[in-house]
Amino acid sequence: MDELKQRILSEGQVLSDSILKVDSFLNHQIDPTLMHHIGQEFARRFSNEEITKVLTVESSGIAVALMTGLALKTPVIFAKKKKATTMDKDVYVGKIYSFTRREDVYIAVAKRYLSSEDKVLIVDDFLATGEAAQGMLQIVEQAGAKVVGVGIAIEKAFQKGGEILREKGIRLETLVQVTNLSHGQVEL
């Protein structure tokens, strides 16, 4: 997706060999026109599927998910990050290992918003280790729902997430692949 590529190249900041900051259009200030186009692109790529819900995780996935849901005309659910101690029995729970915080983070979705009838498209802003996507997959599995695929705006292709999801046989659509962030340079 050329528009997103250009924005990454002109505005992306390389924070380290593995972290790309895109605060001017995606992660802090948000460009609604760009998000709209991202949503339309996911809707186009998954147009052969009967999607009933779009699922993401708070907070950075919400803009992408909202625009995707708008284009697909489906509700959008964002999994909420919670402490294990605040869980109740009315939620499905996924576990994500956070490499930055070096701890498990739990994400939860109320059972009333996902059922075995649902066909779910998982979306997120970034794919890195695949932990967030796998946490969401756990939630969809607990609901007995079907995952139709995973849509990611920016895949860091030098990290393991893409490989892990594809090995599981999951349809993965990523709009831009970052192949390298070494020496302060973004390579696409």
Can you tell me the distance from the alpha carbon of 23 to that of 178, in angstroms, rounded to the nearest whole number? 16
Between 118 and 155, whose beta carbon lies closer to ligand 5GP? Answer: 155
DSSP secondary-structure letter at 112? G
Cα angle for residues 114, 57, 46 (degrees, 5° grid): 70
- Measuring CA to CA, how many Å separate 99 from each of 12, 17, 21, 132? 22, 14, 17, 11
Can you tell me the distance from the alpha carbon of 128 to that of 126, in angstroms, rounded to the nearest whole number? 6
Q: Check binding of 118 to ligand 5GP (CB under 6 A).
A: no
Between 106 and 126, whose beta carbon lies closer to ligand 5GP? Answer: 126
CA atoms 10, 61, 142, 120: torsion sign: negative
Cβ atoms of residues 183 and 86 within 8 Å: no
Q: Check binding of 40 to ligand 5GP (CB under 6 A).
A: no
Q: Check binding of 79 to ligand 5GP (CB under 6 A).
A: no
Which stretch of DSSP H or E encloses residue 18? none
Name which position in 7, 25, 52, 60 contacts ligand 5GP (CB under 6 A).
60
Name which position in 65, 94, 123, 124 contacts ligand 5GP (CB under 6 A).
124
Between 71 and 128, whose beta carbon lies closer to ligand 5GP? Answer: 128
Name which position in 94, 131, 139, 175 contacts ligand 5GP (CB under 6 A).
131
Name which position in 63, 64, 72, 132 contacts ligand 5GP (CB under 6 A).
132
Q: Check binding of 125 to ligand 5GP (CB under 6 A).
A: yes
Q: Check binding of 129 to ligand 5GP (CB under 6 A).
A: yes
Binding site for ligand 5GP (CB under 6 A): 19-22, 27, 60-61, 124-132, 156, 161
